[in-house]
């Protein structure tokens, strides 16, 4: 129970911090880096205000009555790549992430290659 409360507090904090920052578009390659870093530790939640947070694998999908646009699973997306550079330059992976986020109503741009 304490772990769940800590995770919820971290998600609240990340949502609050990002809400006071100036808006910037999400960049696909930044999402790939986050997926790579978190593989085996948790999933990545993409929120409506372009916030990216780490959530546990068993995350219920809702925090304080808010649901993320999408939850991306790092192992399913980046585990097949031997190196991060391969993932960052894989057209299929980048398109899959972009299509998933856009289909849920989010905005994402491809960074310079």
User: Residue 9 class from Cβ within 10 Å (0-12 exposed, 13-18 middle, 19+ buried)?
Assistant: exposed
How far is CA 99 from each of CA 1, 5, 53, 71, 95, rounded to the nearest angstrom?
35, 32, 19, 13, 6
Residue 50 is predicted with a pLDDT of 85
- Write the pLDDT tens digit of every residue in 40-86: 899 999 998 888 999 998 888 888 888 999 999 999 999 999 999 99
Residue with tokens 């646009």: 69
Q: What is the pTM of this model?
A: 0.78
CA distance 31 to 37: 10
Domain extents in the chain: 2-109
């Amino acid at each position: 129970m304490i772990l769940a409360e800590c995770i919820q507090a971290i998600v609240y904090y990340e949502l609050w911090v990002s809400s006071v920052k100036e808006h910037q578009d999400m960049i696909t390659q930044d999402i790939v880096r986050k997926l790579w870093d978190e593989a085996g530790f948790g999933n990545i939640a993409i929120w409506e205000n372009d916030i990216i947070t780490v959530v546990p694998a068993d995350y219920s999908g809702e925090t304080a009555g808010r649901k993320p646009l999408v939850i991306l699973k790092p192992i399913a997306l980046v585990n097949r790549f031997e190196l991060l550079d391969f993932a960052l330059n894989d057209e299929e992976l980048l398109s899959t992430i972009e299509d998933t986020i856009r289909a849920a109503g989010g905005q994402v741009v491809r960074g310079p290659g």
